[in-house]
């Protein structure tokens, strides 16, 4: 049956999925993070495994329950996530960067708790590595899927990111749609490749979105199994 074939579109494929928001430490008791719940990445990992893939899930800060029965590696910072991805990179066939990677981190991580003083203080931030961009510029056979959260000019910004990061598909979050995005159980995305819009996925469960996104990705992956 058709459904059954669809189920196994990723059999024999090794897939890395990143999820959640990275944690960038300030001191032993304080950090910077973001609102990512990890739900979209977790849904992708679960569905990829259902579609036959061997999945390695790399998760930073999340508020959701991780899918069971999937290889899970917990990380904190963007640097940790980058190192974890690189360890699996050579052997993998696809990377889906659903994580909300912090663009900046504190220049210094204090080894002891920063004490309150009378004066104001300034937190200096330095730029983090762009994991997806780095992978995009060293990829060989790997298929790369990125995400983009946009509030305007969806198509232009999404395709700009896709080109800059040299990824194969980008799923742009339509953050103007209510009940979707950070923390929600549903999502709505527009999928783009270099040529423009590939598919518009209206509001539905993150698992349904994951299934549609992965079906498109599977159909475009190279290599013979
Ligand atoms: N990403 C990454 N490493 C970073 C920042 C982002 O790998 N340091 C990845 C995200 O996981 C996502 C994609 O790049 O798949 C786009 O992230 P996004 O934050 O939308 O784009 P940025 O390039 O960071 O641009 P901006 O935040 O300014 O929109
Ligand atoms: Ca960003």
Give per-residue pLDDT as tens, 155-166.
Answer: 999 999 999 999
| Residues 153, 158: Cα–Cα separation, whole Å | 8
Residue 47 counted as domain residue: yes
DSSP letter (8 states) at residue 139: -
The domain in which residue 172 lies consists of: 2-220
- Is 34 a residue of the active site? yes
DSSP letter (8 states) at residue 137: T
Residue 28 counted as domain residue: yes
Give per-residue pLDDT as tens, 42-54.
Answer: 999 999 999 999 9
Q: Which residue's CA is the nearest one to ligand 1's atom 17?
A: 148
Q: What are phi and psi of 103, to 5 degrees?
A: -75, -25
Residue 59 counted as domain residue: yes
Q: Is 18 helix (H, G, I), strand (E, B) or coil?
A: strand
Residue 180 counted as domain residue: yes
| Residues 189, 181: Cα–Cα separation, whole Å | 9
Question: Does ipTM come in above 0.90?
Answer: yes
Proportion of the chain above pLDDT 70, given as a percent: 96
Query: Does the pLDDT value for residue 33 go beyond 60?
Result: yes
Residue 36 counted as domain residue: yes
- CATH classification at residue 28: 3.40.50.10300
Query: Does the pLDDT value for residue 96 go beyond 60?
Result: yes
Kind plus residue range of the DSSP H or E element containing 55: strand 54-59
Global confidence as pTM: 0.95
Ligand nearest to the CA of 160: 1
Helix axes 206-220 and 39-50, enclosed angle (nearest 10): 50
Alpha carbon of 21 to ligand 1 centroid (Å): 11
Residue 225 counted as domain residue: no
Residue 74 counted as domain residue: yes
């Amino acid at each position: 049956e058709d459904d059954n074939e669809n189920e196994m579109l990723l059999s024999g494929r090794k897939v890395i999925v990143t999820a959640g928001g990275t944690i960038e430490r300030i001191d032993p008791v304080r950090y910077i993070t973001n609102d990512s719940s990890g739900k979209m990445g977790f849904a992708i990992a679960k569905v990829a495994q259902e579609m036959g893939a061997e999945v390695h899930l790399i998760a930073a800060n999340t508020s959701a329950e991780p899918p069971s029965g999937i290889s899970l590696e917990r990380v904190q910072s963007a640097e940790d996530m980058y190192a974890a991805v690189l360890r699996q990179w050579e052997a993998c066939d696809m990377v889906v960067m659903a994580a909300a990677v912090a663009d900046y981190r504190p220049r210094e991580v204090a080894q002891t708790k920063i004490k309150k003083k009378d004066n104001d203080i300034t937190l200096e931030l330095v730029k983090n590595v762009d994991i997806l961009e780095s992978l995009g510029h060293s990829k060989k056979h790997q298929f790369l899927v990125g995400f983009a959260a946009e509030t305007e000019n969806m198509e232009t910004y999404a395709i700009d990111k896709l080109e800059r990061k040299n990824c194969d598909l980008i799923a742009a979050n339509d953050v103007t749609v209510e009940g979707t995005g950070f923390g929600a159980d549903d999502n709505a995305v527009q999928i783009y490749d270099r040529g423009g819009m590939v598919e518009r996925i209206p509001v539905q469960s993150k698992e349904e979105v994951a299934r549609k996104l992965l079906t498109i990705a599977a159909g475009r992956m190279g290599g013979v199994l």
